[in-house]
Amino acid sequence: MKYHTLHINDSGSIEQCDEKIINGQKTLVCRLYNDKEFNSINDILFSYDYVMNKKAFDLFEKSNIIPYDLTPVIVKKVNVDMGLFRFYKSLNYRQVKLKTSENMLCYNWINFDESEILILRDEKIEGKLESHENLLKLIQENRNISSKITDIYSLDIKEREKKERTKDLKNIHFKSNRIVFNKRFDSSIDLFQIPLYSWGTYISDRFKQLLLKNNISDLNFASSNVELNELWKPHYPNIEFE
């Protein structure tokens, strides 16, 4: 099995989106940057979620990807710029928003014994994450710590005393170096994410080849975080399979 991370180039970037009701349906009206370096009309646009034209969506729809919500999008690009007056060209796209929850199926795929997902407090390693349930408990612990800090800083006391009372209240952080999937991994999946453990969107090799064959514009792929720049590497753990 071979999977890659999918990366959308910013040559076609959305600057702003507004939610509107058009013909009784929630619709996003998005504007591309008015800068030739970032306003190419790509098949998939650089945005928080996946905003794509019909050509790209037809390929997504044919493939086996995790559940998603679909929203129509009107993309506006400056067609004529006369300084005070701008005239826009409108294009029909759609937003594919992958669904997430605390109990996604992908969390059952992780072999925590073989994976290297570290627990850190104050930049010091406290141990390895033992399970997804362990992660959820630690996230709740973080919320409790943040709440205590907020309560202390709301008190009418000196700043020095606030710092003294909160000096040992350290939040927990997680670092995923390597994620190993167990035999429950569904190899028929063409696109998935692992929220909380990785920033990446992972696609199968067959889906990658389908995107390349159909000339979906301005995409990059990485088979390992070694191929990424130093800024992104810590947030894209390598994945392996039992």
Domains of the chain, residue spans: 3-104+182-241, 111-176
Question: Can you read off the two tokens belonging to residue 89?
Answer: 């060209």
Confidence at residue 78, expressed as pLDDT on a 0 to 100 scale: 85
| Contact residues for 167 (Cβ-Cβ < 8 A; gap 6+) | none
Query: What average pLDDT score do residues 25-45 get?
Result: 93
Average pLDDT, the chain: 93
- One-letter identity of residue 139: I
Share of the chain above pLDDT 90, in %: 85
Residue 53 binned pLDDT confidence (cut-offs 50, 70, 90):
very high
Residue 68 has pLDDT above 90, yes or no: yes
Q: pTM (2 decimals)?
A: 0.88
Q: How far apart are CA 73 and CA 49, in angstroms?
A: 12
Confidence at residue 84, expressed as pLDDT on a 0 to 100 scale: 67
Query: What average pLDDT score do residues 35-50 get?
Result: 91
| Contact residues for 14 (Cβ-Cβ < 8 A; gap 6+) | 30, 31, 32, 33, 45, 46, 47, 51, 75
Residue 82 has pLDDT above 70, yes or no: no
Confidence at residue 55, expressed as pLDDT on a 0 to 100 scale: 97
Confidence at residue 153, expressed as pLDDT on a 0 to 100 scale: 95
Q: How far apart are CA 235 and CA 128, in angstroms?
A: 17
* 209-240 tens-digit pLDDT: 999 999 999 999 999 999 998 999 999 999 99
Query: What average pLDDT score do residues 160-170 get?
Result: 94
Confidence at residue 177, expressed as pLDDT on a 0 to 100 scale: 95
Q: How far apart are CA 69 and CA 201, in angstroms?
A: 16
